Structures are given as structure tokens and as C-alpha cells.
Amino acid sequence: MAINWFKYSSPASFYSLAGKMIPIFVILAVVLLIAGLYVGFFVAPTDFQQGEAYRIIFIHVPAAWMSMFLYVVMACWAGIGLAFNTRLSSMVATAIAPTGAMFTFLALWTGALWGKPMWGTWWVWDARLTSELILLFLYIGFMSLQAAIDDPRRADKAGAIIALVGVINIPIIYFSVQWWNTLHQGASVSLNQAPAMATTMLTGMLIMVFASWMYSIAVILKRTRVIILERESHTAWVAELRKKEAI
């Protein structure tokens, strides 16, 4: 059975497809979230070193992973939009940015909450924390650039360029911060000595990672739908949709 995938690259058909897919991902996200939190808070054993406080990793680690992963995905879509002039991919990139920024913020915040009982301070200039902070700046830069441009096509392309420049720079920035951190090894805190993890902890974390995935997909699809409606508001099919929904 051959499915014409290109059909879904037109905003109109993507709009209806996304509408059907969103409930599936929402349900998956909720189920996985409940399962993950249950495993995380009730099944996983208390860590003998860190006590109960370690349980924040069930949110912290998935958030940190998603924040980095989503930036790369966003840059890929933006790049495709720039190279092949496909409007939909640029819209997806725009839709990913706020979710990515949200996860970055969440990772920083939960990291601070974790840091207080562990190291006795909310913030350390650890290489990972610093890189995550810079990642947040990159997200904010992308979003503010797009927000400042009125013409949506120019916003797409300009955003794509800055996202791609950012993606090239992320390894360089990460490496520089790492170097900088070892040069200033004043603070004795290091995140690198992760204790061996119990299997249930790992399971809980993985379930939470999948839950974040499902959540991200659902939200991104939803946001893309809104962007499509906004941009295509002058077209015939949106007018028809409006008429249908009015009834």
C-alpha cells in the first residue's frame, strides 16, 4: 500500500491529519506520565546517598534531554524549510521553539531545586548547567528574532539561519564551557560521578522520557495547527472550516 506522504506536506491536509493525531499523543502522554511518576515516586527505591531528593531526576533528566534534542530537531526542520522552501517545515520549527525553551527552563529550574539539598547552593557554574543556560539564550534569540519580523516568510528564513548557526555553535560552546570549567576547578562539585542506577530508577526515567516525547509531539502539532490557521486565514479552505465550525 503506497501512501502519498507528500500529500501531508500541504498545510491544509496536515491540518486535518494533525487534528486526528493530537488526541492519540495526548492520551499516550497522560498514560506514560502517570506510569512514570508512579514508578518514580512509589516503586523506585530511596537512594542511599541522596535520600528522597534524587527523585527530581525523573523530571530533570527528561527535560534536559528534550531541551537539547528539540533544538536539533527545530534546526533540522528550519533548515529543510530554508533549503526546499517548504512552508510547513518552517512552521513546525517555529512551533517547536517554545516547547524547547520550556524544557530548557524546566531543566534549569529542577537542576537548581536538586542542587540546593545536594550541594547546598541553588546554582553552580558547572559545565552542564552553564551550557544549558546558553541553550536557553539561543532559544530566546530564535523566538525573539521571529517575533520581531512581520513578514512570515522572512521570519521563517531568518529563524532558520540563526537556528543553523546555533546548531553549529552548540558543540563549540559546550566544549569551550567544559574547558573553562576545568580551568576554574574551584568548586568541588562535579556532576560526572553519577552513582550506579537501580533498574527501576532507569525504567522510571525512560518512561518519563517517552512521556515528554509524546507531550512534545502533541503540543507541537497543536501549535503548528494554530500557526497554519493564522497564516492561511485568507485561503478558501480556512474560510470553509470557519463556516463549518460556526454551524
Partner 1 sequence: MLQGSSLACVRGDRRLFKDVNFSLEAGGLMQVRGPNGSGKTSLLRMLCGLSNPALGEISWCGTSIRALGGDYFATMTYMGHLSGTKDDLTVVENLCISSALAGIEVSESQAYEALKHMGLGGRETLPVKVLSQGQRRRVALARLLVCQTKLWILDEPLAALDVSAVKLMQCLLEKHLEQGGMVVMTTHQEIDITAASIIQLQLA
Partner 2 sequence: MFLWIIKRDLLLAVRRRSDVLTTLFFFVIVVSLFPLSVGPEMNMLRTMAPGVVWVAALLASMLSLGRMFSNDYLDGTLEQVLLSPQSLSLLVLGKALAHWLVTGVPLVLMAPILGIQYDLPAEALSVLTVSLLLGTPVLSLIGAIGAALTLGLRGGGVLVSLLVLPLYIPVLIFGSGAVEANMAGLGYDAHFSLLGAFLLVSLVFSPWATAASLRVSME
Kindly list the residues in this chain that would bind partner 2 in the complex (CB under 8 A). 134, 137-138, 140-141, 144-145, 148-149, 153-154, 157-158, 161-162, 164-166, 168-169, 172-173, 175-177, 179-180, 183
Closest approach of Cβ 141 to partner 2, in Å?
A: 5
Could you give the count of Cα atoms lying within 13 Å of 79 in the half-sphere of its Cβ?
A: 12
Where on the chain is the footprint of partner 1 (CB under 8 A)?
150-152, 233-234
Per partner kind, with CB cut-offs from 5 to 8 A, the member of partner 1, partner 2, none near residue 183 is: partner 2
Nearest to partner 2 of 56, 82 (CB atom): 82
**With contact defined as beta carbons under 8 Å apart, do 104 and 138 qualify?**
no
Measured from the CB of residue 152, what is the shortest distance to partner 2 in angstroms?
12
Cβ–Cβ < 8 Å for 91, 227: yes
Minimum CB distance to partner 1 smaller for 128 or for 157: 157
Q: Choose among partner 2, partner 1, none what residue 234 binds, the Cβ cut-off being 5 to 8 Å by kind.
A: partner 1
11 binds, among partner 2, partner 1, none (CB under 5 to 8 A by kind): none
Cross-strand pairs, 51? 47
- Please provide the DSSP assignment of 13-71 as one string: HHHHHHHHHHHHHHHHHHHHHHHHHHIIIIISPPBTTTBTGGGGHHHHHHHHHHHHHHH
Chosen from partner 2, partner 1, none, partner binding at 128 (C-beta under 5 to 8 Å by type): none
Residue 47 bridge partners (DSSP): 51
**Other Cβ atoms closer than 10 A to 134:** 18
Strand residues in the chain grouped as ranges (E): none
Smallest separation, CB 10 to partner 1 (Å): 15
Nearest residue (CB) to partner 1, 116 versus 154: 154
**Of the candidates 147, 142, 145, the residue with the CA atom closest to the CA atom of residue 100:** 142
Least distance between partner 2 and beta carbon 74 (Å): 15
Cβ(87)–Cβ(14) under 8 Å?
no
Nearest to 225 by CA among 88, 48, 76: 88
For the bound state, the minimum distance from the C-beta of residue 136 to partner 2, rounded and expressed in Å, comes to 9
Read off the DSSP letter of residue 194. P
The residue (of 116 and 153) whose beta carbon lies closer to partner 1 is 153
Question: Which does residue 233 touch among partner 1, partner 2, none (CB within 5 to 8 A, set by kind)?
Answer: partner 1
In the complex, what is the shortest distance from the CB of residue 17 to partner 1, in angstroms, rounded to a whole number? 24
Q: Select 4 or 182, whichever has its Cβ closest to partner 2.
A: 182
Q: Can you read off the three cell numbers belonging to residue 177?
A: 564551557
Considering the complex, state which of residue 126 and residue 232 has its C-beta at the smaller distance from partner 1: 232
